Amino acid sequence: MSKLEWFEVTTIIVLSMAVWFCAALFPFNIQIANLVLLFSGLLLLQSLLRDISILFIQRKVLYSTPPRVVPCMCFESAIGITGVLTGVGLIGLGTALTIKMGQIQWTLSVTAITITGFLIKDLVFQWNPWKIYKEKDHLNIVFSWKKPTSI
């Protein structure tokens, strides 16, 4: 594992401990729609912070390889965006289902979301042809809906 990955694992542990100690500040009853939005936002924030840190730390490496136009998306971002859209849809439908979240539930949920984000960080979802694959350097991939004719 790289230093950046070790830093992310350490940050996940520190965040989990902070949630454990600050859980009393979080709501005990929360609507499912808000919970889906919150956790999807957490996944997207984790991805954004990782990408920004990679941009600043590995700037020379990123700019030395040419970008590729591929009909794909970061799997972590795809899940986060789907969750945000689902949460907004549930709010729009007026869903009022609530769930009880105590200290253990908040801590385990945040830990599970951030660990999942860490584990799927290198996965890319491609739709033409359909596949999910590991791409360590997916910051140099340019998102496109169509398959490029030539670069």
pLDDT in tens, 62-83: 556 677 777 778 889 889 999 9
Domains held by the chain: number: 1
In a domain, 149, yes or no: no
| Residue 19 covered by a domain | yes
Give the separation between CA 26 and CA 12, rounded to whole angstroms: 18
74 within domain boundaries? yes
With pLDDT > 90 as the criterion, what percentage of the chain qualifies? 54
**Residues 6 or more apart from 69 whose CB is under 8 A from it?**
141, 142, 144, 148, 151
| Average pLDDT rounded to a whole number, residues 107-124 | 94
Q: Which domain holds residue 87?
A: 3-143
148 lies in some domain: no
**In-domain check, residue 39:** yes
pLDDT value for 62: 54
Confidence of residue 4 (pLDDT cuts 50, 70, 90): confident
Residue 109 covered by a domain: yes
Q: Cα–Cα distance between 145 and 37 in angstroms, integer?
A: 25
Distance linking the first and last C-alpha atoms of the chain? 33
Q: Which of 140, 106, 134 is nearest to 121 (CA)?
A: 134
* Higher per-residue confidence, 137 vs 127: 127
What is the band of 151 on the pLDDT scale with cuts at 50, 70, 90? very low
Per the domain annotation, does 7 fall within a domain?
yes
CA dihedral 139, 140, 144, 146 (to 10 degrees): -130
pLDDT tens-digit readout, 131-140: 888 887 666 6
Q: What residues form DSSP beta bridges with 131? A: 126
Mean pLDDT over the full length of the chain: 86
More confident residue, 62 or 93: 93
Is 48 contained in some domain?
Answer: yes
